[in-house]
Chain A
Amino acid sequence: MAINWFKYSAPTTFYGLAGKLIPWFALSAAILFAIGLYIGFVVAPVDAQQGEFYRIIFIHVPSSIISMFLYLIMAGYAALGLIFNTRLSAMMATAIAPTGALFAFISLWTGALWGKPMWGAWWVWDARLTSELILLFLYLGYIALHASIDDPRRADRASALLAIVGSVNVPIIYFSVQWWNTLHQGSTIKFTGTSMHIAMQQAMFTMLAACWLYAIAVVLARVRSIILEREKHTLWISELPEVKG
């Protein structure tokens, strides 16, 4: 039996689907967080050069990756909303922005905590760090611009342009360690392989999966509120069991 996925591009059907998916994503995220933290702090060995301090990477690397990917997904949804004028795309972009901003903040915060014992400084104006800080400002700019315009459709269009233009920053973040002579280390995990211990890899990828599932759960929960708010004048909203109360 073929599933018509396009029907879930309408807020009416997506609202129910999101409601069913949230508990599964949230539960899986909680389990994977517990497993990832266990492997990261109990199973993974101490690093020969960095000692225990390297364990910050199990939250730093996943949050950095997710902050970049969420921006691209947000810009993609914003572009879809701008080009095809689809309601749900703009709502999804709006729902992603706060979570993306928080992951960018966690990335910068944990990076500073790692930098102090390793480099002797909380912050340096390194290309990788600076471009990640710009990413945080882009998220905040998107949120502020969207909130400053009363008409939601106009707000969607204006902030979509910012999201699309800002997406040029994501490849700059990723390639910054290759393009410039940075203090930040290059990629440890490459397509050609890695020198990381297997337990370190397991902890990092488990935490990455946990962060992804958490981000999906929280974005779906937020988009449901946005759908409720924007579609409140429609009949289907007034017939929802939670609205009838």
Chain B
Amino acid sequence: MSGLDIWMREHTLAYIWLGSYAVALLIFAIEIAMVIHKRKITLQQVRLMRDAEDEAGDEK
């Protein structure tokens, strides 16, 4: 039996929590952060494009 095998049997709930639930919640948190970041970037791009179009219209 390896050290990990012994540890997981002695600290079952810690193994379950850290190994599966904490990992799953971390993945969800990263996904949410990425979605929020993507929205910010996209909004910035759209605003920049709109401003550039406005400036081009003013120059004409």
* Chain B residue contacts of A113, Cβ below 8 A: 15-16, 19-20
Residue of A nearest to B25 (CB): A33
Interface residues of B in 36-60 (CB under 8 A from A): 36, 38-39, 42-43, 45-47, 49-50, 53
Cβ–Cβ contact A222 & B12, under 8 A = no
Q: What's the dominant secondary structure at chain A's contact region? A: helix
Residue of B nearest to A29 (CB): B28
Cβ–Cβ contact B27 & A221, under 8 A = no
| 19 pairs of residues in contact across A and B, judged by CB atoms under 8 Å | A53-B16, A59-B21, A98-B31, A99-B31, A105-B27, A106-B23, A109-B24, A113-B20, A117-B9, A218-B32, A222-B38, A228-B42, A228-B43, A229-B42, A238-B46, A238-B53, A242-B43, A243-B47, A243-B50
Q: Interface size class for chain B?
A: 20 to 34
Number of A-B pairs, beta carbon distance below 8 Å? 79
- The distance from the CB of A9 to the nearest CB of chain B, in whole angstroms, is 22
B24 touches which of A59, A99, A224 (Cβ 8 Å): A59
Query: A89 within 8 Å of B by Cβ?
Result: no
B16 touches which of A55, A98, A222, A242 (Cβ 8 Å): A55
Beyond A52-B16, A55-B13, A242-B43: 9 further Cβ-contacts under 8 Å?
Answer: A56-B16, A63-B24, A110-B19, A113-B15, A221-B36, A222-B35, A225-B39, A233-B49, A237-B46
Q: Which residues of B contact A (CB under 8 A)?
A: 5, 8-9, 12-13, 15-16, 19-21, 23-24, 27-28, 31-32, 35-36, 38-39, 42-43, 45-47, 49-50, 53
Q: Which residues of A contact B (CB under 8 A)?
A: 37, 41, 51-53, 55-56, 59-60, 63, 98-99, 102, 105-106, 109-110, 113-114, 116-117, 214, 218, 221-222, 224-225, 228-229, 232-233, 237-238, 242-243, 245
* Chain A residue contacts of B50, Cβ below 8 A: 238, 243
For the complex, give the distance between the alpha carbons of A30 and B31 in Å: 15
For the complex, give the distance between the alpha carbons of A116 and B12 in Å: 12
- The distance from the CB of B10 to the nearest CB of chain A, in whole angstroms, is 11
The 3 A-B pairs with the shortest beta carbon distances in the complex, nearest first, are A52-B12, A110-B20, A113-B19
* Chain A residue contacts of B13, Cβ below 8 A: 41, 52, 55
For the complex, give the distance between the alpha carbons of A109 and B19 in Å: 9
